[in-house]
Amino acid sequence: MCGICGIFNYRDDQPVEPDVVARMTQTMVHRGPDDEGTHFAGSLGLGFRRLSIIDLSPAGHQPMSDPERRTWVVFNGEIYNFRELRRELEAHGREFRTQCDTEVIVQGYNQWGDGVLNRLNGMFGLAIWDEPQRRLLVARDAMGIKPVYYALRDGSLFFGSEIRPVLAGLGERRHVNPLALSMFLRYRYTPSPLTLFSGVMKLAAGEKLTIINGDVKTARWYQFVPEPFSRTPSSDEARETLLELYKGAVKRHLISDVPVGLLLSGGMDSGLLLGMMNLCGSSWPTFTVGYGSKFKDDELDDAAETARHYSARNAAVRLDRQAFETALPRIVDVLEEPVASSSIVPMYFVCQRARQDVKVALIGQGPDELFGGYTRHLGVRYGSHWRRLPRWLRSPLATMVNALPRQEALKRAMYSLGTKDRLRRYQQIFSIQPPEIIDSLFRPDLLPPDADSKLLECWAELAPIIEKQDELNGFHLLELRSSLPDELLMYGDKLSMAHSLEARVPYLDREVVEYVQRLGARFKVRNGSRKWLHRQVCRQFLPREIVQRKKRGFAVNVVDDWFHEALRGKIKGYLLDDQSLMYEFLRPDVVHRLLGEHVSRRQDNHKILFSMVVFEQWLRSGEAPVSAGQPR
């Protein structure tokens, strides 16, 4: 796990200034405190910061090349099948000088070209420089676990693992992209390829950028199309296969030359990881965040019980509302591009505590998006029943629901699930407010026409694959290739690396994901039971009391309650003060109305209000843009 950056002056071939690359690299010391390196080849400059995980010797120094110095690589992440690939490459006559997974990428590119990407099972953001062809390849892993940002300016490419090195390379005034802001307010994150920084883009999960002879292209290198099995497996067969895939994934994700731990909640997802980790060792260090027993959603006791069951060590972090309010500006600054999920607060603190004892931590992200763990998945799975109802029955039911106070989730469900167009229906499910409310927030002439439809353009190349899936699997595909990488995995990367902690995601191992995607909806949501197949594996492996615990997800409901309380203090002031920076873009009267509806309890607007508070905090951070502007 590291940080990468670089510049390529692909149009005029002007030499890259070493001082600029050094400035870019210096912004990522937290990602790689153990070593740094650069490589220059005329119009190309590569920068690197290292967090040593595998092969701690100086042989792991990057940028790394082959002996002939024809192929150079900077690489952030881990390749879990690097040993198998190494043996295969050695059989082709390729020679290795280190024990690092990075060298597998170098020699793999020499053997297979860009095809090496499809052979990698791991998480990565990487750049490969082909010196003989003067060709640059920049790529993000299939699941989008590692982010890659870039900007194109006047014939030059600037790229990095974070936005900060890109901005440091550009050295220009920064502007907010209003379209990206509207997407953030609609969905609480900004989908690829956009960021809130005008002109700064991010690669989508499984996407690559190539430059040769002045020609810049982006394309999805990961083209996996889930196809149903020719013979549908039985429930028992599917359960046994999934269990073996889980075991293999966990074993691969434990490969490390430094201490490894687990971020442990009180639920079954991380509990199952701990149980499978015990097949490979014992007395694992685990880390939990909580709020005290007075909160019904606190997980400290449940997590401690799970840790005791598996003879694991457990360290707890206890948060309070003051810590939440004090830390929020710092956390928003770390994220670089805002994400309005309340789980960013506990995630930040549990990663901070874990880094005191370990350098690598496994996290239980993935089963909800793979198997349908959220309430919205019930609506997607059974929404066709609602759409089949005659209009004369649906209309009065919808009218009754719309009259209910503070039932925004139910209202959005009724509205979205009745939409006939499939992608538009999925879009509305992701939205936290109706499009007309989001559009009304903006000052005149800031948004382009049909701003609400722009997300569909981001999804356009996925549409042919989605059409081949059943309703639930089509929605899961969007989650896996859009919302998961650009929201949950993005903030997982930023908040862990802020503390020089490598976070690994075993449930998103390619072998696991590609198997699960081929299973039909009945294996995921069955008879109203969410995560059905995953739950069967857990029941086979975990004690009953762990499987039956209520899903809490680091007790984000507590953080939501704290936000409600904070609306009576300083945070409320952000929304009421007409001098707040957000009002360069948003209309104070509409924001005040949303706040008034929420405080009076006529509507539950906490999601959009929290999004605006996060946006305001972001504008006040050191890296925030100075004004509105259109992408270049």
pLDDT tens column, 406-441: 555 666 666 667 677 899 999 989 999 989 999 999
- Alpha helices of 389-501 — where are they, by DSSP H? 391-402, 408-417, 422-430, 435-441, 454-458, 463-466, 471-478, 489-497
- Burial label for 240, CB within 10 Å (0-12, 13-18, 19+), is middle
| More confident position, 244 or 375 | 244
pLDDT(403) > 60 = no
From-to residues of CATH 3.60.20.10 in the chain: 2-220
pLDDT bucket at 55, cuts 50 / 70 / 90: confident
- Burial label for 61, CB within 10 Å (0-12, 13-18, 19+), is middle
- Count of alpha carbons within 13 Å of 300, Cβ hemisphere only? 16
Asked if residues 314 and 555 have their Cβ atoms less than 8 Å apart, the reply is no
Residue 629 has a pLDDT of 63
pLDDT bucket at 555, cuts 50 / 70 / 90: very low
DSSP 8-state secondary structure symbol assigned to residue 203? P
Residue 288 has a pLDDT of 95
Fold topology of 2-220: Glutamine Phosphoribosylpyrophosphate, subunit 1, domain 1 (3.60.20)
pLDDT bucket at 389, cuts 50 / 70 / 90: low
| More confident position, 320 or 11 | 11
Mean pLDDT of 107-119: 98
**Chain segment 34-47, per-residue pLDDT in tens:** 999 999 999 999 99
pLDDT bucket at 185, cuts 50 / 70 / 90: very high
Rg for the chain (alpha carbons), in Å? 24
Instruction: Please state, as a whole number, how many other Cβ atoms lie within 10 Å of the Cβ of residue 590.
Output: 16
pLDDT(16) > 90 = yes
Bridge partners, 130 (sequence order): 71, 135
Asked if residues 197 and 337 have their Cβ atoms less than 8 Å apart, the reply is yes
Distance CA(248)–CA(346), nearest Å, equals 29
* Domain 235-371+475-551 sits in CATH 3.40.50.620: yes
Distance CA(629)–CA(268), nearest Å, equals 45
From-to residues of CATH 3.40.50.620 in the chain: 235-371+475-551
Mean pLDDT of 222-226: 95
SS3 of residue 501 by DSSP = coil
- Burial label for 427, CB within 10 Å (0-12, 13-18, 19+), is buried
Q: Locate the DSSP E strands across 233-304.
A: 260-263, 285-290
Distance CA(73)–CA(137), nearest Å, equals 10
Share of the chain above pLDDT 90, in %: 73
- Closest of 236, 253, 234, 204 to residue 512, by C-alpha: 253
- Give the distance, in angstroms, between the CA of residue 504 and the centroid of all CA atoms in the same chain: 12
Mean pLDDT of 140-146: 98
pLDDT(630) > 70 = no
Contacts of 631 (CB under 8 A, 6+ apart): 177, 179, 198, 199
Phi, psi of 115 (to 5 degrees): -60, -15
pLDDT(168) > 90 = yes
Distance CA(205)–CA(493), nearest Å, equals 14
Q: Locate the DSSP E strands across 80-186.
A: 122-130, 135-140, 149-153, 156-160, 175-176
Lowest mean pLDDT among 84-93, 103-112, 593-602: 593-602
**Chain segment 497-525, per-residue pLDDT in tens:** 999 999 999 999 999 999 999 999 999 99
- Closest of 48, 45, 111 to residue 77, by C-alpha: 48
Asked if residue 63 has a cis previous peptide bond (ω within 30° of 0), the answer is yes
pLDDT bucket at 400, cuts 50 / 70 / 90: low
**Chain segment 291-341, per-residue pLDDT in tens:** 865 565 578 899 999 999 999 999 999 988 888 888 989 999 999 999 998
Bridge partners, 158 (sequence order): 7, 151
Contacts of 81 (CB under 8 A, 6+ apart): 119, 120, 121, 122, 252
| More confident position, 106 or 1 | 106
Asked if residues 204 and 478 have their Cβ atoms less than 8 Å apart, the reply is no
**Helices 532-541/268-277 angle, 10° precision:** 50
For 26, 60, 73, 85, the CA distances from 57, given in Å and listed in that order, are: 22, 6, 18, 21
SS3 of residue 195 by DSSP = coil
SS3 of residue 5 by DSSP = strand
Distance CA(612)–CA(591), nearest Å, equals 9
DSSP 8-state secondary structure symbol assigned to residue 127? E
pLDDT(442) > 90 = yes
Phi, psi of 55 (to 5 degrees): 55, 85
